[in-house]
Amino acid sequence: MDEPRKNRTTAPIVTPDGPAHVYAPEDHERTSEAVIAAVARAAGRDPITLPPLYEAVDPDALDAMFEHATVGEQIMVSFPFADYEVVVDDGTILLVE
């Protein structure tokens, strides 16, 4: 049995909007959980010390959007959270500082 992918980061990248980090969530991870894990890792913080995600976006709606996407459907969501601009697109999380 294959081991599930771990949250991982590529080398930090630079976007026109500033430095950024790219994360790939684990296969079984809800999008909202992946956002919290990605931000915590990028910020070097314990996830419990981050502000509540619901203050930035509805976590249930975020999860539903990506859980119910059909093959070929392009979905992108962007919102500010914990000093990052979070962009979720096609199973990837981009955090722009």
What are the domain boundaries of the chain? 8-96
pTM, to two decimals: 0.82
Q: What is the mean pLDDT of residues 46-67?
A: 95
pLDDT at residue 30 tops 80: yes
The Cα 75–Cα 52 span in angstroms is 23
**How would residue 59 be classed by pLDDT, with cut points 50, 70 and 90?**
very high
**How would residue 8 be classed by pLDDT, with cut points 50, 70 and 90?**
low
Give the amino acid at 6: K
User: Which tokens hold the place of 23?
Assistant: 């994360």
What is the reported pLDDT for 72? 75
